Structure 1
Amino acid sequence: MNLGHLRTSAFITGLLAAAISMSACQQQQEPEQSLEDNIAEEQAVPMSAEPADPNDTVVAIEDATVNEVQDDTIATVNTGVSQLTYLCSPELKVEATYTDEDDQVVIGTDMGTVTLTKSNDGSNPEVYNVATAIDGGEGFTQWRVAHGARETGVMRMAGADESNVNTYECKKTE
């Protein structure tokens, strides 16, 4: 084989490779989609590069003094709120949120949630009552909690038939 023949072969091979790669890059017409394909696909929504609402940022150069902002700032601390979890027998989990300032407790169970109001002046036991069943229906719910740390509690509740009272003895979890 001579050098001229080799150059010609390389040149033809290069042209053939270029032609194949160009034909592969050409855009071919896609088959037309059916109406069902269009419904099944999520339609693309063009988005604007502009923000929906322009944001105007204002930068304060000088810091305000304490006297200028003291009336604007109010801090509230819930010092009389505590949350405790109890496990009861028969099996029941009770989440109790006490609000001492309002003399209330919110009792939450898998049967429902109810807000009870303290009905006595004592602290051992504290007695909370509401004339509603735990599921919000007709009946009553009563929560008695003992000890200063509210370590144990007894929940009594009944539905529409108030002669059928369910009682649960509860202990605070750690």
Structure 2
Amino acid sequence: MNLASLKKIRSSVVTAGLLASMISISACQQQPEPEASLENDINAEQPVPMSADPAEPNDIVVAADDAPESEVADDTIASVNTGVTQMVYLCSPELKVQATYKDEENSVVLVTNKGTVSLEQTNEGSNPEVFEGATAMDGTQGFVQWRVAHTERETGVIRTAGADASKVETYQCNKSG
């Protein structure tokens, strides 16, 4: 190799080295960010803090201009459901019964697809408990008798009849769930 070709190669290598170092230096310098615009803010997804707490406010607000008690006394009904137990029974022949026991009143309300009836307990015992009513399940003339057994009221028997007391329907029921 001659000296002239070595000088050309050397100048090419130096030029390539300078170009590479300029590119790497410019890449490391910070570029100014473009100015934010309203359109970018609208399109940008905003971070929302997440919480397991409900989104209800914790502040209690008392309105000073509430109506006095005398104005709302007739519209207000308060009830306390102590001694109330609800159970669902599946019966054979097919009948679903929702029983709401009101232990303090010694009564039960039975809700079925045939109607709703309120029954009063007629015995002092607890096994079986016997409840009776003077109307049929559909509210017409007749009777309904509900006998429920076991301390957890696990099984029951409904006997019901309309105006003709000789045609009694009997359902064997077991607590559901």
**Do the two structures share a fold, i.e. TM-score over 0.5?**
yes
Question: How far 1:106 sits from its partner (Å)?
Answer: 0.1
Which residue does 1:127 correspond to in 2?
Answer: 130
- Establish whether residue 58 from structure 1 lines up as the match of residue 64 from structure 2: yes
Separation in 2 of the partners of 1:169 and 1:107?
14
Per the alignment, residue 114 of structure 1 pairs with: 117
Change (3 A) 1:162 1:76: closer
Structure 1 moving runs of 4+ over 6 Å: none
Deviation sequence 1:105-151 (CA, Å, 0-9, x none): 00000010000000000000000001100100010000000000000
Unpaired segments ≥5 residues, structure 1: 1-56, 60-74
Q: Which amino acid aligns with 2:127?
A: N
What is the match of residue 145 of structure 2?
142
TM-score normalised per structure 2:
0.56
How far is 1:79 from its partner?
A: 2.6
Counterpart of 1:168? 171
1:103 is aligned to 2:109 = no
Distance of 1:100 and 1:58 partners within structure 2: 41
Give the whole-Å Cα distance in 2 for the aligned partners of 1:58 and 1:123.
Answer: 52
Displacement of 1:76:
6.6
Partners of 2:133 and 2:146 lie apart in 1 by: 9
User: How many aligned positions are there?
Assistant: 103
Report the residue type matching 2:105 in the other structure.
D
Displacement of 1:87: 0.1
Cα offset for 1:78? 2.5
Q: For 1:58, what is the secondary structure of its paired residue?
A: coil
Sequence identity (%): 62
Write out per-residue CA displacement over residues 32-72 of structure 1, whole angstroms, 9 at most, x where no aligned residue: xxxxxxxxxxxxxxxxxxxxxxxxx538xxxxxxxxxxxxx
Deviation digits for residues 75-119 of structure 1 (CA, Å, limit 9, x no counterpart): 974231000000000000000000000000000000100000000
Choose 1 or 2 for highest CA Rg.
2
Q: Which runs of 5+ in 2 are unaligned?
A: 1-62, 66-77
